[in-house]
């Protein structure tokens, strides 16, 4: 039987494990210190834990990280790391350095169930949820770990479709027993799963980003099937009902599609539906994926769209395109790798 990895366990979970082994409670804190503060990758390296305790732990548990199996580096410094999860399963993490910031975009699932028309990850279908340890492994195994300033859960998968593991990973990033980072360094993105939004807002202090992409329900559902289940107005009502303090931020992601969502009527409707929500809109250039019927809006259109929203009083930024030369849009690298592996299987 494969040993269970302790890496990714919360302190409460570690305490339950050591209690089961009749070990003193403080051993759990020692383990979390070694894993999350000193970043060791084996039980053997935990020098202040007794040999007997380590032997007991090692019977059914291990501590290990998984190294990346591939990396691509862009001309602009963006790096895309590919991590194997299980045989034939891969996830991606994108490291994006920028002036005094360095952001890591992490995955929360292998593949995705949501089937958005513009997304490459969706083409893999859904292959599984990541554990908290597998989410954190993308961060801890990163060669640039010490440079990281921000984490965004915007890689492969829908974080709120795997919320319990995402919340555990955030706890470990922010808790005193973990990395102790400010939750303001973390942003979690969702396509708008209402029960998940409610739970996330109540159980963490990290920032929220919502993939909006079209303010009209009938048009949004053509891009994002989730609109058939959780309607945008109700998503916005949910956000509106939450008391965002000064520190916590909600933003809306808006990929610009030529002739689809980049017209004046979209600006007007965005202003109408976002009324009363203190927020920011991030406009994103679309990186076309194979076979897509969608095209990116022109730079002129994006700038005009930004100006139109600003005129309506909405803080609007245009996200710089990064890593275009290395397939930086999530899912491209892992889908390529999956296809390559599947072909190998056939021979």
Partner 1 sequence: MGKAEKIALQKTTLLSSIEIAKHVFVLSFSRTEDFRPGQMVALALNPNEPFRLYSIASGNTQNEYRILFNIQTEGFLTPKLAELKAGQTVYISKPFGSFYGTLENDWWIAAGTGIAPFISMLESGMGKNKTLIHGGRSKESFYFADRIRALLDGNYIQCSSVLKQEGIYPDRLTTYLENLEYLPTDKNYYICGSSQLIVDVRDILINRGVAYNKIIAEIYF
Question: Binding residues for partner 1, per CB under 8 A?
Answer: 111-115, 117, 122-123, 125-126, 161, 194-195, 198, 217, 219, 221-222, 225-229, 231, 234, 237-238, 240-241, 276, 291, 293-294
Minimal distance, residue 19 CB to partner 1, in Å: 26
Angle at 24 between CA 22 and CA 28, to 5 degrees: 105
CB nearer to partner 1: give 77 or 195: 195
Instruction: Kindly tell me which of 254 and 257 has the beta carbon lying closer to partner 1.
Output: 257
Task: Name, in order, each residue with C-beta under 8 angstroms of 74's C-beta and a sequence gap of 6 or more.
Answer: 80, 322, 323, 324, 325, 326, 328
Write down the least CB distance from residue 169 to partner 1, Å. Answer: 19
- Calpha distance 263→260 (Å, rounded): 8
Shortest distance, CB of residue 7 to partner 1, whole angstroms? 23
| Annotation marks residue 92 as catalytic | yes
Closest CB to partner 1 among 186 and 289? 289
Minimum gap (Å) between residue 245 Cβ and partner 1: 18
Which candidate in 92, 165, 238, 337 is catalytic?
92
Burial of 119 (0-12, 13-18, 19+ CB in 10 A): buried
Closest CA to 329 of 154, 137, 207: 154
What's the farthest any 2 CA atoms get from each other in the chain?
69
Q: Find, among 289, 295, 270, the residue nearest to 212 by Cα.
A: 270
Query: Measured between alpha carbons, how far is 271 from 212 in angstroms, rounded to an integer?
Result: 13
Catalytic residue selected from 112, 330, 337, 345: 330
CB of 117 or CB of 304, closer to partner 1: 117
The residues carrying an active-site annotation are 92, 330
């Amino acid at each position: 039987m494969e040993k269970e990895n302790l890496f990714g366990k919360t302190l409460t979970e570690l305490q339950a494990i050591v209690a089961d082994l009749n070990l003193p409670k403080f051993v759990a804190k020692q383990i979390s210190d070694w894993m999350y503060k000193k970043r060791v990758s084996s039980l053997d390296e935990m020098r202040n834990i007794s040999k007997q305790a380590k032997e007991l732990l090692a019977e059914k548990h291990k501590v290990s990280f998984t190294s990346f199996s591939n990396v691509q580096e862009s001309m602009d410094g963006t790096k895309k790391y590919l991590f194997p999860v299980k045989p034939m399963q891969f996830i991606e993490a994108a490291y994006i350095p920028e002036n005094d910031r360095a952001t890591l975009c992490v995955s929360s699932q292998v593949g995705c169930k949501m089937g958005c028309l513009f997304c490459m990850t969706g083409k893999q279908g859904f292959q599984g949820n990541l554990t908290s340890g597998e989410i954190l492994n993308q961060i801890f195994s990163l060669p640039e770990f010490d440079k990281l300033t921000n984490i965004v859960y915007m890689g492969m998968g829908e974080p709120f479709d795997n919320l319990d593991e995402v919340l555990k990973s955030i706890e470990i990033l922010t808790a005193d027993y973990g990395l102790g980072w400010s939750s303001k360094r973390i942003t979690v993105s969702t396509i708008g799963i209402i029960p998940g939004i409610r739970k996330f807002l109540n159980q963490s202090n990290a920032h929220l980003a919502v993939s909006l992409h079209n303010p009209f329900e009938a048009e949004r559902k053509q891009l994002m099937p989730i609109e058939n289940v959780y309607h945008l107005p109700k998503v916005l009502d949910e956000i509106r009902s939450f008391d965002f303090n000064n520190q916590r931020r909600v933003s809306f992601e808006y990929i610009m599609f030529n002739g689809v969502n980049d017209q004046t009527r979209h600006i007007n409707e965005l202003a109408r539906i976002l009324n009363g929500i203190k927020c920011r809109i991030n406009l994103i250039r679309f990186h076309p994926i194979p076979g897509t019927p969608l095209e990116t809006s022109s730079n002129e259109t994006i700038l005009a769209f930004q100006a139109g929203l600003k005129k309506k009083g909405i803080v609007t930024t245009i996200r710089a395109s990064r890593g275009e030369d290395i397939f930086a849009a999530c899912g491209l690298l892992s889908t390529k790798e999956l296809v390559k592996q599947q072909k190998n299987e056939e021979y």
